[in-house]
């Protein structure tokens, strides 16, 4: 057994390093080196994995040298645009986010420790594509999209579809994420993100639940519901059956419990299934209640 089996943090392995000045340049580098090149943003996932020798990309493309990728702005037409280089703390503290998109602020705040949030980007959190990525559930609930740029042009895609498998995102060769787009919350809507770490400290969530619920004007019936489970399947996943259980209905304890039970059945935990399913149930009950107070 040597160091690579033990996976401790070693010095970084050797790699070639690029500082592109434009998105196009970055994409063409990624395209040129195919699977051997990786994007470096905050580095809080990437560099740690490299030091552990879990991955050893031959080329790193540092996108932090691209001007104009660090922004957080409202386009005036219902869309929040977050540049790929905006850090989690910048997002959480941005005035427009706090005022108009509190759930985006919550997603940013609950993704890591104050120190890592100073350098970690939200785009990186999504691109890393862990099942427990903390910014994903609320973004999915909100119907957020990622803007993807490649050598042949750009496209947008729902965050929900961007997660393909554990640690696998939907990017094709030569593509990178340039922006996250979040639509405004409809009226009479509220949401919450609950994560259940093993300890009080910011552990990786054993299970997490994000939900956004839209009520009718009288706040009597559920018009729309999004319930997204984290860390319970290879990707963050919509609990469609749970959503459908409450859609169009008037919430009461019994219905909430029914929805939560549906969510726990939908979950596909690979490890500790009984425990995780029970936590999904409990957190879903709590999340629905907190989102509809």
Ligand X SMILES: Cc1cc2nc3c(=O)[nH]c(=O)nc-3n(C[C@H](O)[C@H](O)[C@H](O)COP(=O)(O)OP(=O)(O)OC[C@H]3O[C@@H](n4cnc5c(N)ncnc54)[C@H](O)[C@@H]3O)c2cc1C
Q: Specify whether the CB–CB gap between 41 and 63 falls below 8 A.
A: yes
Q: Specify whether the CB–CB gap between 84 and 149 falls below 8 A.
A: no
Positions in 159-178 near ligand X (CB under 6 A): 171, 176-177
Smallest gap, in angstroms, from Cβ of residue 215 to ligand X? 29
- Does residue 274 bind other proteins (CB under 8 A)? yes
* x/- track of binding to ligand X for residues 75-94 (CB under 6 A): ---------x----------
Residues β-bridged to residue 228? 210, 238
> Residue 2 touches which of ligand X, other proteins, none (CB < 5 to 8 A by kind)?
other proteins
CA distances from 86 to 39, 100, 106, 119 (A): 15, 17, 15, 9
Options 44, 89, 232, 264; binder of ligand X; rule CB under 6 A: 44
Smallest gap, in angstroms, from Cβ of residue 6 to other proteins? 4
Closest CB to ligand X belongs to which residue? 124
Smallest gap, in angstroms, from Cβ of residue 111 to ligand X? 4
- Does residue 196 bind other proteins (CB under 8 A)? yes
> Residue 198 touches which of other proteins, ligand X, none (CB < 5 to 8 A by kind)?
other proteins
- Does residue 4 bind other proteins (CB under 8 A)? yes
> At a CB cut-off of 8 Å and minimum separation 6, what does 182 contact?
79, 80, 82, 101, 104, 139, 142, 143, 144
- Does residue 98 bind other proteins (CB under 8 A)? no
Of 185, 177, 228, which is closest to residue 207 (Cα–Cα)? 228
- Does residue 2 bind other proteins (CB under 8 A)? yes
- Does residue 120 bind ligand X (CB under 6 A)? yes
> Residue 282 touches which of other proteins, ligand X, none (CB < 5 to 8 A by kind)?
other proteins
CA distance 85 to 61: 13
Q: Specify whether the CB–CB gap between 266 and 239 falls below 8 A.
A: yes
CA distance 102 to 184: 10
- Does residue 41 bind ligand X (CB under 6 A)? yes
The SS3 assignment for 179 reads strand
Q: Specify whether the CB–CB gap between 181 and 156 falls below 8 A.
A: yes
- Does residue 202 bind ligand X (CB under 6 A)? yes
CA distance 104 to 139: 7
β-strands 176-183, 145-150 pairing:
antiparallel
The radius of gyration of the chain from alpha carbons, rounded to an integer in Å, stands at 20
Q: Which parts of this chain interact with ligand X (CB under 6 A)?
A: 38-46, 48, 63, 84, 111-113, 116, 120-121, 123-125, 127-128, 133-134, 171, 176-177, 202
Q: Which parts of this chain interact with other proteins (CB under 8 A)?
A: 1-11, 196, 198-201, 203-204, 206, 272, 274-275, 278-279, 282-283
């Amino acid at each position: 057994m040597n160091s690579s089996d033990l996976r401790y943090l070693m010095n970084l392995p050797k790699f070639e390093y690029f500082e592109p000045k434009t998105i196009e340049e970055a994409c063409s580098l990624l395209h040129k080196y195919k699977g051997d090149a990786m994007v470096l943003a905050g580095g809080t996932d990437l560099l740690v994995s490299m030091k552990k020798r879990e991955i050893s990309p031959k080329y790193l493309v540092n996108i932090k040298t691209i001007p104009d990728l660090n922004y957080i702005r409202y386009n005036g037409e219902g869309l929040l645009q977050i540049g790929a280089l905006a850090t989690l703390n910048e997002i959480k503290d941005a005035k427009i986010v706090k005022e108009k998109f509190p759930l985006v602020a919550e997603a940013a705040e609950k993704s890591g420790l104050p120190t890592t949030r100073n350098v970690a980007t939200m785009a990186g959190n999504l691109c890393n594509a862990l099942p427990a990525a903390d910014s994903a559930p609320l973004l999915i609930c909100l119907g957020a999209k990622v803007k993807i740029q490649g050598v042949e042009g750009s496209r947008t895609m729902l965050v929900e579809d961007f997660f393909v498998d554990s640690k696998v995102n939907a990017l094709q060769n030569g593509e990178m994420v340039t922006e996250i787009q979040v639509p405004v919350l409809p009226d009479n809507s509220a949401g919450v993100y609950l994560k259940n770490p093993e300890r009080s400290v910011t552990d990786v969530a054993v299970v997490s639940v994000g939900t956004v619920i839209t009520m009718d004007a009288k706040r009597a019936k559920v018009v729309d519901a999004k319930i997204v489970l984290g860390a319970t399947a290879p990707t963050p996943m919509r609990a469609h059956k749970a959503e459908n259980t409450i859609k169009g209905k008037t919430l009461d304890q019994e219905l909430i419990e029914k929805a939560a039970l549906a969510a726990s059945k939908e979950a596909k935990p690979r490890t500790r299934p009984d425990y995780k399913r029970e936590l999904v149930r409990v957190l879903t009950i709590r999340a629905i209640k907190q989102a509809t107070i």
